[in-house]
């Protein structure tokens, strides 16, 4: 009998986390559908991914990191010519979160710039290979360079924003006694 209580609590806690992850997925998709400029949307998406990583943990952050590029297609933020990059963007998101998680105790510049550079490099490198493999017209190849710069910028600023949001909410929860 004594063993049943922690099991029930654990199940309840997991259900709460799953529910929160579902809410964050809805928010992430809603942000992408707002029609904001790509840099603003990218920062908000990366901030949400970072916040979920810090708040709910790796499992749910990776789930959202994998699903978020689909929102880019639905919302029109990802041009059709770049659809072949969808799996690469998913991998870039995952590697960004992994890099941030590993560098979480490093100085701010490294904590934000290195994971952002990894994400940008993966997307750029794979994008160039896909463009070459698919023999996409030279007129579309130029799109990958702004994508690289945008991915780096939105990842770095999004990591910072997500971390600051988590810290602010955590402070607020502690101050109000909800820790």
Above 50 in pLDDT, residue 3?
no
Please tell me which of 68-77, 110-119, 125-134, 137-146 the model is most confident about, judged by mean pLDDT: 110-119
Report pTM. Answer: 0.85
Q: How many Å apart are CA 110 and CA 112, to the nearest integer?
A: 5
Tell me 107's DSSP state: -
CA nearest to 66, candidates 51, 84, 86, 82? 86
Q: How many Å apart are CA 75 and CA 30, to the nearest integer?
A: 9
Backbone angles phi, psi at 106, to 5 degrees: -85, 165
For residue 76, name the pLDDT band (cuts at 50, 70, 90).
Answer: confident
**What's the chain's average pLDDT?**
86
User: In 3-state terms, what secondary structure has residue 103?
Assistant: coil
For residue 4, name the pLDDT band (cuts at 50, 70, 90).
Answer: very low
pLDDT at 137: 63
Q: CA–CA distance from 24 to each of 49, 82, 83, 98, 174 (Å)? A: 9, 25, 24, 19, 22
For residue 141, name the pLDDT band (cuts at 50, 70, 90).
Answer: low
Distance of CA 101 to the CA centre of its chain: 12
The percentage of residues in the chain with a pLDDT greater than 90, rounded to a whole number, is 57
CB 47 within 8 A of CB 156: no
Q: How many domains does the chain have?
A: 1
Mean pLDDT of 32-41: 92
| Domain region containing 95 | 4-175
Tell me 2's DSSP state: T
Q: How many Å apart are CA 91 and CA 127, to the nearest integer?
A: 12
């Amino acid at each position: 009998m004594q063993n049943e209580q922690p099991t029930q609590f654990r199940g309840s806690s997991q259900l709460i986390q799953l529910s929160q992850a579902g809410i964050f997925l809805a928010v992430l998709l809603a942000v992408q559908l707002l029609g904001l400029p790509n840099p603003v949307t990218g920062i908000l998406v990366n901030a949400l991914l970072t916040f979920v990583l810090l708040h709910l943990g790796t499992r749910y952050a990776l789930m959202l990191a994998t699903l978020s590029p689909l929102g880019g297609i639905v919302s029109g933020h990802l041009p059709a010519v770049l659809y072949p990059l969808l799996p690469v963007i998913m991998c870039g998101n995952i590697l960004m979160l992994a890099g941030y998680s590993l560098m979480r105790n490093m100085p701010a510049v490294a904590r934000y710039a290195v994971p952002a550079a990894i994400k940008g490099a993966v997307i750029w490198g794979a994008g160039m290979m896909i463009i070459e493999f698919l023999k996409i017209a030279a007129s579309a190849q130029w799109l990958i360079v702004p994508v690289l710069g945008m991915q780096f910028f939105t990842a770095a600023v999004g990591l910072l924003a997500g971390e600051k949001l988590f810290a602010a909410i955590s402070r607020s929860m502690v101050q109000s006694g909800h820790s």
